[in-house]
Amino acid sequence: MKAATATTYDALVRRANWFGKLFFVAAVLNCSMLMPVEASSADGRAFDEAIRLGILGHYGESTRILREIQRKHPNDPYVLTELGNAYLNNYNDVQSGTDKAEKCLRRALEIDPELGRAWVKLAECSDAKGDFVSGVKYATKALSVKKPDFEAYHERAGALSNLKRDKEALKDIEMFLKTNPRPERKHFVQRATIMENLKQYDRAVAEYRRLLKEKYEDQVVYREVACLQAMGKQEEAIKTLNELVAHNKQDDTGYLSRARAYESMGKHKEAIADFTKAYELQPSTAALKERAAAYEKMGRRDLADKDRKEIERL
């Protein structure tokens, strides 16, 4: 759940008194554009630059700037919250980043326990560590404080889904999509995945197909195929995989997936052809092992044994 996310964050509009009027990034208010406001504070401009860099994914540089500001203003809960967010998302400091983030966020909440964004980010810390129970707890708190953050619906949905509480998760992601004027693609993918978990395959497929019309992505195709196969629609799954293979002829995973689909239908000859192509593109024991099994079913033990010997050599 480490990602730059747009957030309904009233606190950033009203942030610390020492800021004055600043340049601030409207993306933090669920917009994707910069929205300049009269600036009167060098620290404020630096803060906004740090936020901008974070939204662009440059969390290392964002962290450096925020640390400098935090040294001057050690008890500002808004700066502590954004510093915590930067630590949490800095992939160059994965091992200690979560711990540093949690320390900043807990300090921010000691100063201002009504700061919803800090609670959301604390939930994100817990989820990153696999503590989804605490993730739900903190995200719920983010919605009940005086300065709530509706990003909590998205974060809580993820935690609930990991706890196999997908009915509740679906309600949360639906609420998030209603309250967020500019949801990102990943949020719709999340909703479709939760539908899939609930075996609402028709709805999930419809969502995946809508997303694919907007932008073709292999991973979304694989989710659509998984739903179709779960519904017993193997022929339709094959058609979808045909499109995938045509779209990217050098992707061994596409051929491997189609081979498995053919094999599940008893079409061993077609499966073997795809296992062979997958192996040519990316030699792997998986392709050889599954091709050997297909040969065995066709009564070609000689070819199956040849593949198994090749596996031993690899």
Distance between CA atoms of residues 66 and 86, nearest Å: 8
User: Residue 18 corresponds to which tokens in the numbers above?
Assistant: 């020492």
In contact, 97 and 11? CB cutoff 8 Å: no
Query: Of 255, 234, 235, which Cα lies nearest the Cα of 245?
Result: 255
Task: Going residue by residue through the chain, which has 314 residues, state the pLDDT in tens, using 9 for 90 and above.
Answer: 443 333 323 333 333 333 333 333 333 433 333 323 233 367 889 999 999 999 999 999 999 999 999 999 999 999 999 999 999 998 777 678 899 999 999 999 999 999 999 999 999 999 999 999 999 999 999 999 999 999 999 999 999 999 999 999 999 999 999 999 899 999 999 999 999 999 999 999 999 999 999 999 999 999 999 999 999 999 999 999 999 999 999 999 999 999 999 999 999 999 999 999 999 999 999 999 999 999 999 999 999 999 999 999 88
In contact, 128 and 88? CB cutoff 8 Å: yes
Query: Of 133, 74, 81, which Cα lies nearest the Cα of 102?
Result: 81
Cα radius of gyration (the chain) = 24
- Match 């992601």 to its residue by tokens: 173
Distance between CA atoms of residues 272 and 262, nearest Å: 9
Q: Which residues pair with 24 in a beta bridge?
A: 35
Three-class secondary structure of residue 147 per DSSP: strand
Distance between CA atoms of residues 46 and 94, nearest Å: 24
- Match 């967010």 to its residue by tokens: 85
In contact, 126 and 135? CB cutoff 8 Å: yes
Cβ-proximal residues to 224 (8 Å cutoff; 6+ apart), any chain: 204, 205, 208, 209, 212, 240
| pTM given for the model | 0.80
* Residue 41 confidence (pLDDT): 66
Tell me which DSSP letter residue 21 carries: S
Distance between CA atoms of residues 273 and 298, nearest Å: 13
Distance between CA atoms of residues 308 and 314, nearest Å: 10
Domain boundaries, the chain: 199-248, 259-314
User: Residue 5 corresponds to which tokens in the numbers above?
Assistant: 């996310």
Distance between CA atoms of residues 142 and 156, nearest Å: 10
- Match 């990943």 to its residue by tokens: 186
* Residue 44 confidence (pLDDT): 87
In contact, 119 and 78? CB cutoff 8 Å: no
- Match 């954004």 to its residue by tokens: 82
Distance between CA atoms of residues 299 and 306, nearest Å: 13
259-314 has which CATH code? Answer: 1.25.40.10
In contact, 66 and 50? CB cutoff 8 Å: yes
DSSP E strands, the chain: 24-25, 34-35
* Residue 17 confidence (pLDDT): 34
* Residue 6 confidence (pLDDT): 30
Tell me which DSSP letter residue 54 carries: H
